[in-house]
Amino acid sequence: MRLAKAAQWVVSAPPREALARRLGQLFTGLILYGVSDALLVLGGLGLDPWDVLHQGLARRTGIPIGTWSIIVGAAVLLMWVPLRQRPGVGTACNVVVIGTVIDLVLAVVPAPVSLPLRWAALLSGVLLNGVATACYLGAGLGPGPRDGLMTGIAGRGHSLRVVRTCIELTVLATGWLLGGTVGAGTVLYAVGIGPLVHLLLPRLTIRTTAPPAPDDRPFAGVVPRRRV
């Protein structure tokens, strides 16, 4: 029985040979997510709810929007404690990497002036955000702090759809009151991101084939020597 339990633990643990691939996909997804958020900001046609909040705080304080993304992410992560949510390495990286990339991109890429280019930035941002979300979630190294907050509250017996809607509407309204940009991009993001992630996540989820469980019978699999 002990051998069987040990075998089950080994099978459930991520294989070492898949760790490099998981980390590579995680960081690829987080970097792309930061780039996609920056594209939405550059487009200036509306942001996703959390970035509306980050931008509103940035406009009120002068602190860059990516830095506010890190601050808010860390604060949300602290809210996991009473919910007994367990962060993964991907959760911690999510807090730091996305906000850092947003600030870097906005520091070097000028905002487009013409309306066609702004729409191109918006559409590219939404599409890239869908790919990035599926990419970092598919790595299986931990959800983002905001995702974990939603699932943690829903785990207390509430509808995940209702919890997500309430949180994002609250965040959106707060960000709008602070001066964040709400517009066509906000609606497009809300309508498009779900189907995009639903389509891409199965294709980007890293699955490992579990080896067959060893037989825990004594001397199982040992071929007896032939008597001469």
pLDDT at 10: 35
Q: How many CB atoms lie within 10 A of CB 131?
A: 18
CA distance 25 to 43: 27
Q: Which of 10-14, 21-25, 131-135 has the lowest mean pLDDT?
A: 10-14
pLDDT digits 0-9 by tens, 166-218? 999 999 999 999 999 999 999 999 999 989 988 998 999 987 655 444 444 44
* Predicted confidence (pLDDT) at residue 223 exceeds the cutoff of 60: no
pLDDT digits 0-9 by tens, 51-73? 999 999 999 999 999 999 999 99
Q: What is the share, in percent, of the chain residues with pLDDT greater than 70?
A: 83
* Predicted confidence (pLDDT) at residue 39 exceeds the cutoff of 90: yes
pLDDT at 13: 43
The more confidently predicted of residues 12 and 37 is 37
Q: Which of 13-17, 24-28, 30-34, 50-54 has the lowest mean pLDDT?
A: 13-17
Q: Tell me what the mean pLDDT of segment 111-116 comes to.
A: 95
pLDDT band with cut points at 50, 70 and 90 for residue 81: confident
Q: Tell me what the mean pLDDT of segment 9-18 comes to.
A: 51
CA distance 77 to 72: 8
Q: How many CB atoms lie within 10 A of CB 125?
A: 26
CA distance 76 to 219: 52
pLDDT at 151: 82
pTM of the model: 0.81
pLDDT at 14: 53
Long-range (24+ apart) CB contacts under 8 A made by 151-155 are 151/85, 152/79, 152/80, 152/83, 152/84, 152/85, 153/83, 155/83
Q: How many CB atoms lie within 10 A of CB 12?
A: 8
- Average pLDDT value over all residues in the chain: 85
Q: Which of 20-24, 154-158, 183-187, 206-210 has the lowest mean pLDDT?
A: 206-210
Phi, psi (rounded to 5 degrees) for 32: -65, -35
pLDDT at 15: 60
